[in-house]
Structure formats: structure tokens, C-alpha cells
């Protein structure tokens, strides 16, 4: 579920495409033995295409990924400071 406070930016990928490799989920899907269980810092530009004049992209973004190997999926939670 997306919060109403979360920016309405364009994603860097479309449904059915690979998630960006610079994200926690992207490293899991694209690199061997990459599974982070802690909160990781990243930039908004890793997941999104923020508008050039949107200063919210300057805030620190976080991602935590939860994995289900038996079902073959990963769920990422994204949030800002």
C-alpha cells in the first residue's frame, strides 16, 4: 500500500521488467548470494525518476527487503527520512 505522503514519481521499470540493479531487491534478483536483511540506504533515483525541481528526492531513502525463497518472491519496503 502506498502512503498519500509518498511522492507520485515514475518508476524506473514496468511490470514484468527487472527491477533496477542498484536497489536491494535488484541485487537479490541479479547477483548471486545477495540477500540483505537489514535496512539499507539508497537514493530515490535508484527506484524512481523524480522531477528535476522536486526537492523531496534529496531526502535519504531507505529500503528493507523480505524474501520468500520457497515462493520465489521478494517484497521491498521503501521510505524516506
pLDDT at residue 4, as a whole number: 77
pLDDT at residue 5, as a whole number: 79
Q: What is the pLDDT of residues 8-62, one digit of tens each?
A: 899 999 988 989 999 999 998 888 778 888 999 999 999 999 988 888 889 999 9
Residue 62 CB coordination number (10 Å): 14
Q: What is the arithmetic mean of pLDDT over 56-75?
A: 91
Q: What is the arithmetic mean of pLDDT over 55-80?
A: 91
Take residue 50 and report the three cell numbers written for it: 523524480
3-state secondary structure of 43: coil
pLDDT at residue 30, as a whole number: 84
Residue ranges of domains in the chain: 10-80
Residue 79, C-beta contacts closer than 8 angstroms, at least 6 positions apart: 61, 62
Amino acid at each position: 500500500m502506498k502512503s498519500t505522503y509518498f511522492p507520485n514519481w515514475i518508476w524506473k521499470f514496468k511490470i514484468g521488467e527487472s527491477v533496477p540493479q542498484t536497489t536491494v531487491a535488484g541485487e537479490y534478483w541479479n547477483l548471486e548470494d545477495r540477500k540483505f536483511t537489514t535496512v539499507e540506504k539508497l537514493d530515490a533515483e535508484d527506484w524512481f525518476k523524480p522531477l528535476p525541481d522536486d526537492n523531496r528526492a534529496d531526502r535519504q531513502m531507505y529500503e528493507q527487503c523480505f524474501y520468500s525463497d520457497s515462493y520465489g518472491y521478494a517484497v521491498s519496503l521503501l521510505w524516506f527520512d
